[in-house]
Structure 1
């Protein structure tokens, strides 16, 4: 199950994020290898009510932000296009991570299912997400969850920081 995160969850969220950074580094993926996401990013998302925790046996084993505003990074798409039914109203999954030690339990699949249901409950009929081109693990989970590849975006308009973007209609 998932639940909204509170300010007291911030240390747990940062610990999960740090573990995810280590996993990405071990896989040779440059995503999240700087300061981002910062404590300020996490605190802001919690304050907005955008951060959710995935719980297993009453323990937080995953974190994600269900961003509920248009993402400026998605305004221009390269080497592709948003699907025709696209609208300005969509939810975006950001900063998703599952704590190591839970591999093989398909918790990512469960988390995506719950986040999709939550987005639908909140009135969204479209979801978007991005990931690094080298993050085969995340791409596999996205395709299993029903997302389709749409193209490439630049993060913060940086031509060296490219992400594959995916879209799902609910």
Structure 2
């Protein structure tokens, strides 16, 4: 039986996290998505996430198996949405850069990881969650919907020169 848990990322995790993000970037490219194909996210992104205290890892038997950044506060790219957020709150959690290692693909660990992220953040008093993804990223779309996130509209990102539109989702737990 494996021990699976979520913890804050540490500087010693950076190499493994970068490898996971590189695997995810390749997987997205193979699926025809332009998401993450312009050099973002990268090592500096991960190092900033750790420095800012928003980096989380999923571990399986003490091996880093997944990564996500959970940013609490206002997300600038969410200010302009073709659609409407249900709750216009100042403090919410945006889940960015969620990925699971190709070594663990198919084990449904992303479901477990997202559930843990929501629970840990909810315990900090955050009840509104947001996530976005490309139209071609069916996996993140499925994970969001399976956790009762509701599609709220389209936002624009700057790091994808091919397709800057992203489907934006929201989860309210009040």
TM-score range, shorter chain: over 0.9
Q: Is the 8 A contact 2:152 2:169 kept in 1?
A: yes
Gaps of 5+ in 2: none
**Counterpart in the other structure of 1:130:** 132
**Counterpart in the other structure of 2:39:** 35
Relative to structure 1, is the Cα distance of residues 9 and 92 closer, same or farther in structure 2, using a 3 angstrom cutoff? same
CA distance in 1, matches of 2:66, 2:101: 6
Q: Is the 8 A contact 1:20 1:100 kept in 2?
A: yes
The answer to whether residue 146 in structure 2 is matched with residue 144 in structure 1 is yes
Q: Is the 8 A contact 1:73 1:157 kept in 2?
A: no
**Structure 1 ranges of 4+ moved more than 3 A:** 156-160
CA distance in 1, matches of 2:103, 2:148: 25
Relative to structure 1, is the Cα distance of residues 157 and 96 closer, same or farther in structure 2, using a 3 angstrom cutoff? closer
Count of residues in Structure 1 that have an aligned counterpart in Structure 2 = 168
Gaps of 5+ in 1: none
State the superposition RMSD in angstroms.
Answer: 1.5
Q: TM-score, normalised by structure 2?
A: 0.92
Superposition map of 1:11-90 within 5 A: 11-78=15-82, 80-83=83-86, 85-90=87-92
CA distance in 2, matches of 1:15, 1:62: 10
Spell out, residue by residue over 1:64-92, the C-alpha distance to the aligned partner (whole angstroms, 9 max, x if none): 001112110000101x2111x33111000
Spell out, residue by residue over 1:40-78, the C-alpha distance to the aligned partner (whole angstroms, 9 max, x if none): 111111011100000112111100001112110000101
Q: TM-score, normalised by structure 1?
A: 0.94
